[in-house]
Amino acid sequence: MDALDTAILRVLALDARATFAQVGEHVSLSAPAVKRRVDRLRERGVIRGFTVRLDPAAMGWQTEAFVELFCQGSTSPATMRSAVEHYPEVVAASTVTGDVDLMVQVRARDMRHLERVVERLAAEPFVARTRSTVVLSALVRRPDVPPAPEG
Amino acid sequence: MDALDTAILRVLALDARATFAQVGEHVSLSAPAVKRRVDRLRERGVIRGFTVRLDPAAMGWQTEAFVELFCQGSTSPATMRSAVEHYPEVVAASTVTGDVDLMVQVRARDMRHLERVVERLAAEPFVARTRSTVVLSALVRRPDVPPAPEG
DNA sequence: TTTGAAACTGGATGGAT
DNA sequence: ATCCATCCAGTTTCAAA
């Protein structure tokens, strides 16, 4: 993980389908050199994969919410994960500090759909109660990017 | 946006660097046919771009938090956005329902870094106060995917 | 209108240096 | 890491369904 790797990842974050030659122009490297570094970053797991960025509204995802779960006693993160990862509507889930135990981000077609998902989450055996916050508008949404050098 | 487009997007969500021929095998279409559809999806803005999925820890992002902002009187979403989008540490920001006005997701190198970012956010002129929730562990993190057919 | 086949252009990839 | 040669993917054109 040197400055060149970071520079390559920065280019790929903006356009993951850029050719190795195009990436090479940005970082002053030949195409084969870029390829070798990308292959190595994949092997090491730094790169988890490549994906497409979609317009959620165009896809039919019109409603988004943060659903906070308060869990019974000491529910293990593994239990929480396996419960929550079966929902296709769950975009992200994290255990967090504070009174909430699990923060779940849900994407649904509409309010009716969201309501059903929240009801199903609330019915999970380890869930004591839920608190939902609906997203009004997504102001910023950025892809993964390597951190800037100390500042 | 028909079933073929959706199928193509599903394949690209899993591997955005798949060749058009490979995508075509999954959806029973020739490479040129796939390319034409992908081009059209980009033109229409359904596809916003292609990006890389990174291991945040490997990148030096060790700390993540939800920072809720309570704003003065009626601050416009445009004001919130332009303030918040200048922070490289801000991964996402959304206006939300409830007592919180703006939900900001922040990624920082460490607690010290996170603290400074929260201080800067709190010092924004329109911010009355903040409430932060630190992520303990990210259980699920999924890329954008087209919704499943009604269920 | 959208597809598949063919042809051409240019990128991916492995080996030599 | 670059250069080069080979192979294969991207891209355009065209004819057909």
Mark the nucleotides of strand D covered by protein, meaning any atom under 7 Å from a CB: 1-4, 8-13
Query: C1' nearest to CA of B33: which nucleotide?
Result: C3
Helix, coil or strand: residue A46: coil
Interchain proximity B51–A50, CB inside 8 Å: yes
Q: What is the pLDDT of residue B148?
A: 81
Query: C1' nearest to CA of A36: which nucleotide?
Result: C13
Q: What is the pLDDT of residues A80-129, one digit of tens each?
A: 999 999 999 999 999 999 999 999 999 999 999 999 999 999 999 999 99
Measure, in angstroms, how far nucleotide D16 C1' is from residue B12 CA: 29
Looking at the structure, tell me whether residues A93 and A121 fall in a common domain. Answer: yes
| Residue of least CA–C1' distance to D9 | B19
| Residue of least CA–C1' distance to C14 | A32
In the numeric block, which tokens belong to residue A123?
A: 């019915």
Q: What is the pLDDT of residue B147?
A: 85
Is A130 a residue whose pLDDT tops 80?
Answer: yes
Nearest CA in chain A to B96: A135
- CATH number at A21 reads 1.10.10.10
Nearest CA in chain B to A131: B98
Q: What is the pLDDT of residue B137?
A: 96
Q: What is the pLDDT of residue A151?
A: 54
Please state, in angstroms and rounded to a whole number, the distance separating the CA atoms of residues B134 and B62.
Answer: 11
Containing structural domain, residue B82 = 56-135
Is A148 a residue whose pLDDT tops 90?
Answer: no
Measure, in angstroms, how far nucleotide D11 C1' is from residue B19 CA: 13
- The verdict on residue A150 lying in a domain is no
Interchain proximity B54–A77, CB inside 8 Å: no
- CATH number at B68 reads 3.30.70.920
- The verdict on residue A94 lying in a domain is yes
Q: 10 Å Cβ neighbour count for A143?
A: 19
Helix, coil or strand: residue B70: strand
Looking at the structure, tell me whether residues A62 and A120 fall in a common domain. Answer: yes
Q: Within a 13 Å sphere around the CA of B19, how many CA atoms are in the beta-carbon half? A: 5
Interchain proximity A1–B58, CB inside 8 Å: yes
- The verdict on residue B82 lying in a domain is yes
Q: How far does the CA of residue B88 sit from the closest CA of chain A (Å)?
A: 8
Measure, in angstroms, how far nucleotide C2 C1' is from residue B5 CA: 13
What's the total number of domains in chain B?
2
Looking at the structure, tell me whether residues A71 and A120 fall in a common domain. Answer: yes
Read off the amino acid at residue A132.
S
Q: What is the pLDDT of residues B23-51, one digit of tens each?
A: 999 999 999 999 999 999 999 999 999 99
Q: How far does the CA of residue B27 sit from the closest CA of chain A (Å)?
A: 17
The residues, any chain, with a CB within 8 Å of residue B126's CB and separated by 6 or more, are B71, B72, B75, B79, B80, B83
DSSP label at residue A73: S
Looking at the structure, tell me whether residues B40 and B61 fall in a common domain. Answer: no
Query: C1' nearest to CA of A33: which nucleotide?
Result: D1
Interchain proximity B97–A53, CB inside 8 Å: no
- The verdict on residue B93 lying in a domain is yes
Please name the helix (run of DSSP H) or strand (run of DSSP E) that holds residue A127, with its range, or none.
Answer: strand A127-141
Q: Contact B111/B61 with Cβ under 8 angstroms?
A: no
Looking at the structure, tell me whether residues B17 and B60 fall in a common domain. Answer: no
- The verdict on residue A149 lying in a domain is no
Is B151 a residue whose pLDDT tops 70?
Answer: no
Helix, coil or strand: residue A98: coil
